[in-house]
Amino acid sequence: MNVEELKELMSLLKEADVRAELCDNPIKVSECGVKCGLPTEIGDNELADYIMLPKSVVGMYPEMFIPAEGDSMIGAGYESGDMLRVRFGMTAHDGDSVLAWIDGKCTVKSYYKDEDNQQWLVPQNDDYDSIPLTEDMDFRILGVVVGVEKASCRMPSRSLIQSIRRTKNKLKTAKRMSEKEVDECIIKIGSDVKHARQWYAVYRAMLDCQVTNEGDYMAFCSRVRFLLPEHEHLPTPKEISRMAVQSFARPVSMWNNNNAPVSGVRYKDYLNVALIMGSYLSKTPTEA
């Protein structure tokens, strides 16, 4: 598609009230990164590439994308590999992230001028000290960071694992329901169970809430029979075990109508029983 065809397409989109802009303004991409850490010497000025942006977001000042390195600006959201969009020639104001030159070295920090008119470069990481700018320094602000292109939107596995571990620990330390309270939940759900195999939904909800043992169908069935001896549809270990297949072998939150041993209305009935039992078990004794 040539330029004229693109312009015609843009015109049609505008007539259809679709906001679109042509990315026809090349912004240089530096091959050498800038330290978001301790100041570092500037490398060569070769360009690695260009990033095309629409004219409406490109200002009157020259711009360049520069790769970030280090972790001193992690609090501002800048991580190694991110592309910092630097606009050169702008006046820096308090709080701006700036690309600064200090004695032949280059760094990115937050700019601030205090009540004594002292200028500072302030990192966004407590592991680094702020840098006071003095008269004996060869210092100048080259540009202001006006945007950042993230290297990846994927969160690191380490932070995810830590969060999951914290949640698991909270669940382990949370007050468990007593056996009597669980029995009361089983009795309460009994009126919602319409056939023997549907007791599997009750068992699965109990397993998810860690109030029964995985695979111990005999103990579960005996418990139900003891609590509800007159129930019209009592479970058997053999029938319950037959339901622990496909998505039903996973936690209730992972059940899938397209991958379950039952489907349609029957699937909804199983899911409903499991969710109701789960709600009973998730309540604290004072809420039940």
Residue 40: φ, ψ to 5°: -135, 160
Kindly state whether residues 24 and 95 are assigned to the same domain: yes
Kindly state whether residues 130 and 177 are assigned to the same domain: no
Kindly state whether residues 12 and 119 are assigned to the same domain: yes
User: Are the beta carbons of 223 and 186 closer than 8 angstroms?
Assistant: yes
Catalytic residue among 30, 72, 97, 110: 72
Lowest mean pLDDT among 136-140, 148-152, 235-239, 270-274: 148-152
pLDDT score of 16 = 57
pLDDT score of 152 = 62
Kindly state whether residues 36 and 145 are assigned to the same domain: yes
236 inside domain? yes
Mean pLDDT of 116-125: 91
Give the CATH number for residue 120.
2.10.109.10
165 inside domain? no
pLDDT band at 101 (very low <50, low <70, confident <90, very high): confident
Q: Could you give the dihedral angle defined by the CA atoms of residues 261, 264, 269 and 271, in that order, rounded to the nearest 10 degrees?
A: 60
Catalytic residue among 30, 35, 97, 109: 109
CA angle 38, 42, 47 (to 5 degrees): 125
Kindly state whether residues 115 and 239 are assigned to the same domain: no
Mean pLDDT of 57-86: 80
Kindly state whether residues 43 and 107 are assigned to the same domain: yes
163 inside domain? no
90 inside domain? yes
Kindly state whether residues 79 and 198 are assigned to the same domain: no
pLDDT band at 228 (very low <50, low <70, confident <90, very high): very high
Domains held by the chain: number: 2
CA distances from 120 to 68, 110, 117, 141, 250 (A): 20, 8, 10, 11, 56
pTM of the model: 0.43
Kindly state whether residues 251 and 216 are assigned to the same domain: yes
**Structural domain containing residue 223:** 172-282
Q: Is 109 a catalytic residue?
A: yes
78 inside domain? yes
Tell me the sheet residues that pair with 100.
Answer: 107, 141
74 inside domain? yes
pLDDT score of 111 = 94
